[in-house]
Amino acid sequence: MILGLGNSKGGVGKSTIAANLVVELCDRGYPTALIDAEKNSPTARRLLKYDPTLVVKGASSLEEIDEAVEQLAQSGHHVVIDSPGRSGDELTALCLASDIVLIPMQTTEQDLLQTTDVLTLVRAFQRRMAGRPQAAIILNATRRRDIAARRFREGLLPLGVPVAKTQLRRLDDYRFSVSVMRDSELNRQGAADDIRTLVDELVMPHLNHQGVANEQ
């Protein structure tokens, strides 16, 4: 399975989501590597400091991403790609490399406008590539009983990309930790539980369907 994240600038950022997904999937027994396509690979460097046994690679161009994906898949790894994912070229690279793209967005007008452009490109690729990559929107930095989140969820439905039931709440634990998955103190408000629920909803169905890393 090749999973890409793009679009989000704030809230629970895509880099934070990517790092936590890698840790959680590895801890569940699914060898998973991070490809950091951001300049200077900041998430990869932080993740290695957190746990030097994790597998990470930096790759900035489409060719480098393709090469890294192939190497990691051959070594039996699932792959999470943390892409800048804001320009056309970056999103094109993400769509071409990924089996599934997760698109975090905050419930703001600015994020709604930006996400609409991202979804238009994703849907164009799906039409050309027999439904690939699959995609899902993650409502991000929400609050308990968030009325805006409910309104945004309803407004996004006509765009044709599923909106995850799981929402990532605005919690400080994400801001100050590269991963919240292994420290119960960082889960007092449920930050790790939210990530685990997200994995169960969006990631595990792909892993259970594929059986092994990158199986077609």
d(CA 21, CA 199): 7
pTM: 0.90
Fold classification of 2-210 is Rossmann fold (3.40.50)
Task: Give the C-alpha separation, 2 to 80, whole Å.
Answer: 6
Q: In whole numbers, what is the pLDDT of the chain averaged over residues? A: 87
For the stretch 118-133, pLDDT in tens is: 888 899 999 999 999 9
Task: For residue 158, give the H/E element and its range.
Answer: none
77, 22 in Cβ contact below 8 A?
no
Query: What are 32-72's pLDDT values in tens digits?
Result: 999 998 889 999 999 999 999 999 999 978 888 889 999 99
Q: Is the pLDDT of residue 215 over 70?
A: no
Q: Are strands 134-142 and 168-169 parallel, antiparallel or unpaired?
A: parallel
Q: Are strands 55-58 and 32-36 parallel, antiparallel or unpaired?
A: parallel
Residues 6+ apart with CB under 8 A from 194: 166, 167, 168, 169, 171
Cβ neighbours of 109 (radius 10 Å): 9
pLDDT tens-digit map of 151-181: 888 888 888 889 999 999 888 899 889 999 9
* Contact of 19 with 42, CB cutoff 8 Å: no
Q: What angle do CA 177, 180, 70 make, to 5 degrees?
A: 90
